[in-house]
Amino acid sequence: MSIRTDHQLPDLKYLAIVPAFNEGESIAQVCNHLLRALPQFDVVVIDDGSSDETARLVPPQARVVSLPFNSGIGAAMQTGYRFAAVNGYDVAVQVDGDGQHRPAEVVRLVQHLLANNLDLVVGSRFLERKSYRQTIVRQFGAWVLKKMLWILSGGLETTDCTSGFRAASRRTIEAFAHWYPEDYPEPEVILLLHRAGFRTGELGVKMRRRKGGSSSIGLISGLFYVFKVGVCLLLDTIRKPWPPCRLPGATVAPTHETHW
């Protein structure tokens, strides 16, 4: 049974963004857990052009924004952040549609964000738990990207830069609504926010195994991912995606919304 946790958070407007691509096996359970455990949160599922019944299986208490075709995690998350910006949310939390992220840990992320006046908090699998299981390819890739971030940022320490479990402040929501990296953007976001003067942090969290479906990153795609993100990180040292005139309080055009 889920435990209500809304009394642990101040009276703000919260949103759980659930990007989903072919997560029909788990999306209903994920949404129901979030809705029961976090009544202070609204839930929006970004259906990234799924070819299964992901969108149809989302509970009616949650909202659905359906993209016409698969656009990747970057486009899905920017859609979610645009939804959050347009609708005036103070905090947005990215929660994967595969069931790995626990509702109780969502509260801890938000508490850490607010208590430390941060702009982004990443839920780390490795900050406190060194034994979290990963494949050799994933371990190697995470190590390479961690070292690149440390070098390119001038010493920023991270333990889980590829984690998609993260909480964002209103300021960060508005930044991401205007621009967000494509494909697998998690490491890029940390470097870009750091360079733009945003305050980021990590919090050790527990994660479950996937409830259904399969990971989108295999051996070959995993190696290509590391190479591609590495190149993007190098380019990010000269990129300025968030002009000061855009932050904070910039106007965002409404996003298309579909009700199910």
Enumerate residues 6+ apart whose C-beta is below 8 A from 206.
Answer: 102, 105, 129
Side-chain-side CA neighbours of 193 within 13 Å: the count stands at 27
How many of the other CB atoms lie within 10 Å of CB of 69?
Answer: 8
> How do the pLDDT tens digits run along the chain, 260 residues long?
445 555 579 999 999 999 999 999 999 999 999 999 999 999 999 999 999 999 999 999 999 999 999 999 999 999 999 999 999 999 999 999 888 889 999 999 999 999 999 999 999 988 876 555 667 777 788 889 999 999 999 999 999 998 999 999 999 999 999 999 987 789 999 999 999 999 999 999 988 765 444 455 556 777 888 898 999 999 999 988 886 655 555 444 444 333 33
* Predicted pLDDT of residue 253: 44
How many of the other CB atoms lie within 10 Å of CB of 57?
Answer: 21
The secondary structure of the chain in percent helix, strand, coil, rounded to multiples of 5, reads 40, 15, 45
Do residues 40 and 235 lie in contact, with contact meaning Cβ atoms separated by under 8 Å?
Answer: no
- Which 3 state secondary structure label does DSSP give 64? strand
Segments making up each domain of the chain, as ranges: 6-133+160-212
pTM: 0.85
Task: From residue 89, give the alpha-carbon distance in Å to each of 40, 171, 172.
Answer: 12, 10, 11
State CA 13 to chain mean position distance: 17
CATH superfamily membership of 6-133+160-212:
Spore Coat Polysaccharide Biosynthesis Protein SpsA; Chain A (3.90.550.10)
Do residues 30 and 18 lie in contact, with contact meaning Cβ atoms separated by under 8 Å?
Answer: yes
